């Protein structure tokens, strides 16, 4: 059994972090203390105590505990659990702990629905993905969702110290820890208590003369500081943090989130998001941001890591410190919405790509006015279809560049 399981807390007071739901007087603490357990879904990143709390709940009830993992469970496995209902072994009811419920398909989740609703099975499910996207709505509506947050390094420190003590007891020795080892492991494991405990175990097993050096700790915690999954919620949270920091003109926060993506080796996601931001959030306030960011992205992709961080850092700072405008973004969104809503209409005759008229046309001739034949290369004519001829999608932003354009076009169009 891994050390992370051997030091798993047996009481709520020993659980690391999650004080927002597990401190005395908080909702989940009160529910568990009263012993009447509802259907629940525990949502949060790996290694933050979801399974530990489920185990503690199981110890406090008279129900029979069954465990399934969504990555391996089949419909027949679920039916085997259901088959125990009414038997002597399930006289107190069944508590089903379903880990990684997001991997069960809709039919498998529906198999449980009848028994959850009747109260014959009490479900405690855990997931690292947003349950509102991955759990069948009928199951979700019968459960209470509790979010488990990433544990801070300060919270992990006591767990790391306890892990070293237990390893010393089991190996009949007292480990000598170089200064900084405990804090390095706690801070380096990205809020994952399980990962921290496993790192402690590896440090002890690989130590010489019962001394754990900083060199060993750094080697065994390398890359573990990234709680990262390219297809998971945390991945999109980092990208969201990056874009919102740039949009909010906080270059320091933007560099932080970019660094987290780079530390995970995810150049592609960072490059794609920077290209989007250049047009969506900086836009016409500084149009040159687009080609500059494109040049930085091309350089980064050609260089690869670690040098790629340099042009990408330049792009992040440029975007964060540039003036902002989403006028073009709002304009294309409004136009797309009209198209999706069917607000289109026929293209005006003068714009059509044909130079003849059918017999049914009352007005013959295309009558297109060629703007280059007129002063200032502009002439007023209708371009939108009749049904939406007065629609306005774009409004000039209040930045220097767009206001200069507005002055120019007000002058030109005001002449006509």
pLDDT tens track for 287-314 = 999 999 999 999 998 888 889 999 999 9
**pLDDT class for 231, splitting at 50, 70, 90?**
low
Whole-angstrom Cα distance, residue 70 to residue 61?
Answer: 23
Is there a single domain that holds both residue 47 and residue 116? Answer: yes
Q: Is residue 116 scored above 80 in pLDDT?
A: yes
Look at 60-69, 312-321, 398-407 and tell me which has the smallest mean pLDDT.
Answer: 60-69
Query: Which domain CATH number covers 281?
Result: 1.20.272.10
Is there a single domain that holds both residue 85 and residue 170? Answer: no
CA-closest candidate to residue 191, choices 149, 223, 131: 149
Q: Identify the domain boundary among 305, 321, 337.
A: 321
Element (H, E) at 146: strand 144-147
Is there a single domain that holds both residue 142 and residue 163? Answer: no
Range of the domain at 273: 233-321
Is there a single domain that holds both residue 134 and residue 200? Answer: no
Q: Could you report the per-residue pLDDT of 207-217, keeping only the tens digit for each?
A: 888 889 998 88
Written as one string, the DSSP assignment of 377-400 is G------S-GGGTT-------SSH
Give 88's Cβ-side CA count (13 Å radius).
Answer: 0
Is there a single domain that holds both residue 271 and residue 306? Answer: yes
Q: Is residue 155 scored above 80 in pLDDT?
A: yes
- Confidence at residue 219, expressed as pLDDT on a 0 to 100 scale: 86
| Residue 327 located in a structural domain | no
Is there a single domain that holds both residue 119 and residue 87? Answer: yes
| Residue 392 located in a structural domain | yes
The whole-chain average pLDDT of the chain stands at 86
Query: What would the two tokens of residue 211 be?
Result: 């001394």
Looking at the structure of the chain, the number of domains it has is: 4
Q: Which residues contact 219 (CB under 8 A, 6 or more apart)?
A: none
**Pairing mode of beta strands 144-147, 64-69:** unpaired
Contact 274, 236 (CB under 8 A): no
| Residue 192 located in a structural domain | yes
Q: Which segments of 189-281 does DSSP mark as H helices, in order? A: 193-206, 214-220, 233-247, 251-263, 267-277
Is there a single domain that holds both residue 165 and residue 136? Answer: no
Whole-angstrom Cα distance, residue 86 to residue 187?
Answer: 49
Is there a single domain that holds both residue 157 and residue 192? Answer: yes
Is there a single domain that holds both residue 379 and residue 405? Answer: yes
**pLDDT class for 156, splitting at 50, 70, 90?**
confident
């Amino acid at each position: 059994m891994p050390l992370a399981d051997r030091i798993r807390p047996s009481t709520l007071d020993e659980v690391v972090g999650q004080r927002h739901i597990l401190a005395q007087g908080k909702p989940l603490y009160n529910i568990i203390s009263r012993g009447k357990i509802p259907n629940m879904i525990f949502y949060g990143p790996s290694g933050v105590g979801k399974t530990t709390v489920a185990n503690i709940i199981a110890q406090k009830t008279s129900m029979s505990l069954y465990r399934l993992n969504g990555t391996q469970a089949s419909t027949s496995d679920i039916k085997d659990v259901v088959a125990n209902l009414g038997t002597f072994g399930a006289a107190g009811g069944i508590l089903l702990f379903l880990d990684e419920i997001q991997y069960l398909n809709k039919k498998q989740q529906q198999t449980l629905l009848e028994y959850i609703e009747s109260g014959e099975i009490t479900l405690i499910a855990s997931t690292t993905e947003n349950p509102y996207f991955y759990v069948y709505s009928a199951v979700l509506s019968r459960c209470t969702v509790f979010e488990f947050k990433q544990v801070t390094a300060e919270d992990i420190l006591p767990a790391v110290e306890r892990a070293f003590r237990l390893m010393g007891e089991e190996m009949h020795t007292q480990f000598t820890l170089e200064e900084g080892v405990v804090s390095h492991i706690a801070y380096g494991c990205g809020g994952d208590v399980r990962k921290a405990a496993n790192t402690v175990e590896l440090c002890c097993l690989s130590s010489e003369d019962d001394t754990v050096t900083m060199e060993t700790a750094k080697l065994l915690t390398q890359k573990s500081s990234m709680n990262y999954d390219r297809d998971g919620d945390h991945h999109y949270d980092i990208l969201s943090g990056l874009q919102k920091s740039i949009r909010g003109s906080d270059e320091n926060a933007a560099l932080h989130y970019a660094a987290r993506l780079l530390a995970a080796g995810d150049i592609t996601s960072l490059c794609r998001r920077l290209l989007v931001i250049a047009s969506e959030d900086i836009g016409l306030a500084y149009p040159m941001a687009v080609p500059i960011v494109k040049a930085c992205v091309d350089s980064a992709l050609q260089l690869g890591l670690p040098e790629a961080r340099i042009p990408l850092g330049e792009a992040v700072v440029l975007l964060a410190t540039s003036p902002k405008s989403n006028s073009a973004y709002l304009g294309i969104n409004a136009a797309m919405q009209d198209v999706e809503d069917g607000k289109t209409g026929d293209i005006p005759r003068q714009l059509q790509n044909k130079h003849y008229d059918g017999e049914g046309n009352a007005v013959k001739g295309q009558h297109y006015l060629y703007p280059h034949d007129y002063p200032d290369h502009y002439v007023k004519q209708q371009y939108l279809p009749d049904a939406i001829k007065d629609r306005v999608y774009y409004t000039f932003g209040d930045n220097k560049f767009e206001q200069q354009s507005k002055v120019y076009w007000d002058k030109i169009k005001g002449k006509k």
